Structure 1
Amino acid sequence: MIKRHKLYWVAWCIGLGFITTVVSSEAQETPYYKDKTVRIIAGFPSGGGVDAEARLLAKFFERHIPGNPSVLVQNMPGAGGMVATNWFEQFAKPDGLTFHYTSTTSINQQVFGIEGAKFDLRQWPLVGSIFRQTSVGFIHPDKLTRLAAAGAPLKVGVRAGDESWNAIFLWGAEFLNWNLTWVVGYGGGGEIRLAFRRGETDLFATAVLTNFTELMSEGFKPFVQQGTLASSGSFQKRPEFPAVPTFDEMLGAKRPSGVAWQAYVSWAGSDSAGRPLYAAPKTPAHIMKILRDAFSKLKADKTFQAELLRVTGEDSNLLSAQDGEPILRQLLTTSSEVRDYSNMLMKKYLKR
């Protein structure tokens, strides 16, 4: 009787093990993202570069994340992206269902200790970055002579003034005596561009290829470019504008040295990290692997690459987390002297 009972027990255990194995196998075969909805938080309103790229990522992430989740973009504008960045730091759950797509403005806000910045990007796991060619400054030709002339200052429209391209105008005012004033408070790149086209402001910078065509067809002229920071410390021109000088070329012999130039390089060079796509802090490693693998597949997706070219311009590409994280760590670690110098210019010209 005891022997028979043992046989029943063994059979029951074997059956239970088989059932557990089948259930476990089925669970493993079901992708984590199946039937889920993912949000990409964009800290700027529709119409600008961040919004356009976030929607491009959403469209193709649906195809490349296993399980094909629905991916939506939620615009959360305000304070140069800081509203969204602070929200993400405080509320985003580490479940891989909420991403944050930002401009380099958020990097500058942390690097230079902008008041109200309550986040630490060093703790955010990077999915990948879209590296786009850097900004080009536009002006109407009849206003060029007024750049360094006495009289009414030319107006620069900004969100908060900490945009990477605004380094051109701040250092231009400081070292080339550009006669400028800043109009602060625009919601995003689309609003700034519209104000420029309407004549409400006089200077505008953009990295969006479609904006170049539009502005030049309306008579605006590219007169300076930010350039991409090279390992040598120099700035390389966009391929579309070989005749337009970079700002460091425009400075010539007036280019500063020491802390003043280090601050400019840190500020204007932040675009070299691309625009980062982040997951929430403490997102588990196995979910990060799914996301990073999906991001890497975008490189081989010819349709995505064609759309990226259309939205961002020539020589745009993707930076993997492996390539992007070292750059971000370098940018997010800076000296107090560099920070103080940049903040001094913000206070001097933007009263911040």
Structure 2
Amino acid sequence: MKHVSLSGAFSAVALALGLAAPAVNAADFKDRTITVVVPAGSGGTFHIYAQLVARHLGKHVPGTPAVITQNRPGAGGVTASNYMASAAPRDGTVIAEINPGSVVVPLLRKVAFDPRKFIWLGTAAVRTYTLAVWHDVKADTLESHKKTEVIMGSSGVGSLNYQIPTFMNAAMGTRYKVIAGYKGGGDINIAMERGEVQGRGNFYSGYTGAQPHWIRDKKIKFFATLGPTRPEVAQVPRLVDKIEGDINRQMYKLLEVGFNVGQSFHLPEGVPKAQVEILRAAFAATLKDPEFLAEAEKRKVPIITQGYRKVEAIIAEAYDVKPEVPKKLADILGLKKK
């Protein structure tokens, strides 16, 4: 087997990214354990993406550290982000996946984190978002949901599956009853099967990765899509086309930030530059790793990447917003920023 030095590999990746080559020091991570924080419970694709990164990142980090996952569910990802901002070690041994919907929460209410201060590594995937109901629900169109109450499952106010239907109630006159508090997508899926809830918001690949038989067996009916498009749901109405009124469109644009950020990973503020450069290069190498890509394909989750600079730019643009937009959205979502 041909041996490739880690330092050479890192230099090549760093140059390809336009970064200065990190000063590789295996002692920084040798015999250490890196933890990847999952902003949800197990059973959904947030957990799958974190698992994929954890399974393949270590071999690209000098010192070949062990990498594990740790679930920190709660408040639609806010619990995990608060932890990263206030308590996570600042030595490069803790990485977190963001819940995309939580990116704009600091604009809406007081929390402990500011995504602009996180040190971004990049994005594993940007994904199409869908709204769907269980197959036996007769009210299965946007128009019918203005007349009939539909119970939607959610993991909390920081999640898109809470924000989107709640916003739709105010902006479009739908009648969703949103039940929050589930630990993650896996628990919401169980609730749908049990009949506790009738529908949910979820990434399309959330079904292909965790419940592919639901699509195959037509267990769910899609009634709207958001974010990037994909051919399998091209005929399903686009929510953005149904929203009327300038202020409503501006609020929707703010909510859509989560789809553009996607399944991004970050470090807490304050990690030394040398460790940041090592981990950014390792993350980029992981996303190109043939074994990582093969496992993602096997688990039926897309890998559509973007670099950390793109994530930073998306978040910076989102926070450059007229104050009345997040204020009105916060009012709709029942949040107060103190």
Q: TM-score, normalised by structure 1?
A: 0.80
C-alpha spacing 1:28/1:277, structure 2 compared with 1 (3 Å): closer
Question: Does residue 1:307 correspond to 2:295, yes or no?
Answer: yes
In 2, Cα distance between equivalents of 1:107 and 1:296: 22
Among 295, 298, 303, the residue aligned to 2:283: 295
In 2, Cα distance between equivalents of 1:135 and 1:203: 14
Match of 2:247 in 1: 259
Q: Is the 8 A contact 1:128 1:278 kept in 2?
A: yes
Q: Deviations over 1:291-350 (max 9, x none)?
A: 111111123312212323444644x322221222111222234322111121121129xx
Question: Does residue 1:271 correspond to 2:285, yes or no?
Answer: no
Question: Does residue 1:330 correspond to 2:317, yes or no?
Answer: yes
C-alpha spacing 1:295/1:212, structure 2 compared with 1 (3 Å): same
The letter for the 1-side match of 2:129 is: S
Q: Deviations over 1:92-123 (max 9, x none)?
A: 2221111122211321322322x4x1112211
Question: Does residue 1:133 correspond to 2:121, yes or no?
Answer: no
List runs of 5+ in structure 1 lacking aligned partners: 1-26, 229-236
The letter for the 2-side match of 1:130 is: A
Post-superposition shift, 1:272? 0.5
In 1, Cα distance between equivalents of 2:56 and 2:25: 22
C-alpha spacing 1:309/1:108, structure 2 compared with 1 (3 Å): farther
The letter for the 2-side match of 1:276 is: S
Q: Is the 8 A contact 1:38 1:69 kept in 2?
A: yes
Q: Is the 8 A contact 1:157 1:182 kept in 2?
A: yes
In 2, Cα distance between equivalents of 1:28 and 1:88: 25
Q: Is the 8 A contact 1:42 1:101 kept in 2?
A: yes
Among 103, 110, 117, the residue aligned to 1:107: 103
C-alpha spacing 1:172/1:87, structure 2 compared with 1 (3 Å): closer
Post-superposition shift, 1:243? 1.3
The letter for the 2-side match of 1:343 is: A
In 1, Cα distance between equivalents of 2:87 and 2:168: 39
In 2, Cα distance between equivalents of 1:323 and 1:309: 24
Post-superposition shift, 1:165? 4.6
The letter for the 1-side match of 2:151 is: K
The secondary structure found in structure 2 opposite 1:221 is strand
In 2, Cα distance between equivalents of 1:212 and 1:166: 21
Post-superposition shift, 1:269? 3.3
In 1, Cα distance between equivalents of 2:209 and 2:94: 29
Q: Is the 8 A contact 1:147 1:180 kept in 2?
A: yes
In 2, Cα distance between equivalents of 1:309 and 1:103: 22
C-alpha spacing 1:309/1:170, structure 2 compared with 1 (3 Å): farther
Give identity over the alignment, percent: 24
Match of 1:149 in 2: 147
The secondary structure found in structure 2 opposite 1:317 is coil
CA RMSD of aligned residues (A): 2.3
Q: Is the 8 A contact 1:62 1:71 kept in 2?
A: yes
Post-superposition shift, 1:170? 2.9
Post-superposition shift, 1:214? 2.5
Alignment of 1:36-47 (within 5 A): 36-47=32-43
Alignment of 1:29-178 (within 5 A): 30-113=26-109, 115=110, 117-139=111-133, 140=135, 142-144=138-140, 146-150=144-148, 153-178=149-174
Match of 2:223 in 1: 223
In 2, Cα distance between equivalents of 1:79 and 1:270: 15
Post-superposition shift, 1:39? 1.0
Q: Is the 8 A contact 1:126 1:278 kept in 2?
A: yes
The letter for the 2-side match of 1:123 is: K
Question: Does residue 1:321 correspond to 2:317, yes or no?
Answer: no
Match of 1:342 in 2: 329
The secondary structure found in structure 1 opposite 2:158 is coil
In 1, Cα distance between equivalents of 2:171 and 2:298: 36
**Structure with max Cα Rg:** 1
Q: Is the 8 A contact 1:136 1:206 kept in 2?
A: yes
The secondary structure found in structure 1 opposite 2:305 is strand
The letter for the 2-side match of 1:304 is: F
The secondary structure found in structure 2 opposite 1:122 is coil
The secondary structure found in structure 1 opposite 2:160 is coil
Q: TM-score, normalised by structure 2?
A: 0.83
Post-superposition shift, 1:263? 0.8
The letter for the 2-side match of 1:226 is: L
List runs of 5+ in structure 2 lacking aligned partners: 1-22
Post-superposition shift, 1:158? 0.9
